[in-house]
Amino acid sequence: MKAMVIVNPSSGKEKANDYAEKIEETLRNNYEDIEIRRTEKEGDAAAFATEACVALYDAVIAMGGDGTINEAINGLAEQAHRPALGIIPLGTVNDFARALNIPLEPYEAISILEEQYLRPVDVGKVNESYFANVLAVGAIAEASYNVSAEQKTKLGPLAYFMEGTKSFLNGEAIKISVEHEGGKWEGETFLLLTALTNSVGGFEALAPEADVNDGKFHTFIIKKLSIPKIATLIPSLLRGELEESKEVEYIRTSYLNVSSNKPHVVNIDGEEGEPLPFSAKVLPGHLNIFVPVIKKT
C-alpha cells in the first residue's frame, strides 16, 4: 500500500510541516510506503496528484487551502486509476471539508485517516477543469477577488460576505443565458451560483438540499434587484431559504451551459477561472474521499 502526502508549506500559518509529520505517523498503520511532496508553485499539487495516479498509489492526502485541494482534484479527475483522497483543511473557508464533515482543526482531520472510511463524492467538470464545490458568475463572484489575505485572516468567511454585500449595492446586473436539463433561462442577474455541496463561502446552509453525491448541481440565479429587495434577500440566504425567494431562480440539473454577451469570468472554487461561455457537468461519485465514520444512532 502506497500513499502520497501533498503539502503546501505556506498554509496553516506555516505549521504545515509539523502536520505532515503527524500524517506520516498516522498513515504508518495502513501504508508501507509514504511519500511527502511539498509544493513550491502553482500547479505542483495537480502534477503530484497525477503522478500518484500513474504510479498506482492507493491514497493521496492533500494538505492546504481550497486552492491546494482544488489542484489535487484536478490532478486526480478522469485518470484511469484514482487513489482515495484525504483532505487536511488549512484554508480560510474550507467549504469542501465542511460539506464532508471533515474537522477544520488539522490534528482532528488527520485523526480520521486512521479509520480509512471512504465516501464517493461528485466532482464537477467545467470546460476542461474540475471543481469540488462551486461555480459563480456575476458582480458578487468578481468581488471575491478583492478580498485581501489580511481580510481573510482577520474575518474568515465574513470577508467574502462583506465584499459581496458591497457588490450587491454597487454592482451591475449581467445578462446571461443558462441551458440546463429542464430547459433554458435568460435574463439579468447579479449572481449565478452553482453548488455541488451545501457549504458555499463558509455558509453551510446556502444550499441545504445539496448532497455531496446526489449527481446534481444546485443552481441559484439571483435576479436584478432593487436595494430594498436586496435587504430582504440576505436573511433568506442566511437561513438557507434562498430557493424559496421570488427573486431567485432555483435549478437542479446534471449539466449547465452558460453564456453572456460580455466577457465575464467564471469563479471556480473561489479562484478566477475562464471567460464565459462555459459548459459544466457532474461526474457522479467520481472520487472516494476519507471522511469521519458515520455513527449509527
Please give the positions annotated as active site: 271
Cell of 53: 495516479
Maximum CA extent, the chain: 61
Q: Which long-range contacts (CB under 8 A, 24 or more apart) does 109-114 make?
A: 110/19, 110/22, 110/23, 110/26, 111/26, 112/290, 112/291, 112/292, 112/293, 113/23, 113/26, 113/27, 113/61, 113/86, 113/290, 114/26, 114/29, 114/30
Report the distance separating Cα 13 and Cα 28, nearest Å: 26
CB half-sphere exposure, 190, CA atoms < 13 A: 21
Report the distance separating Cα 35 and Cα 3, nearest Å: 6
**199 near 98, Cβ under 8 Å?**
yes
Report the distance separating Cα 196 and Cα 124, nearest Å: 7
Map residue 13 onto helix, strand or coil. Answer: coil
Letter string b/e over residues 93-120, b meaning 16 or more CB atoms within 10 A of that residue's CB = bbbbbbbbebbeebeebbebbeeeeebe
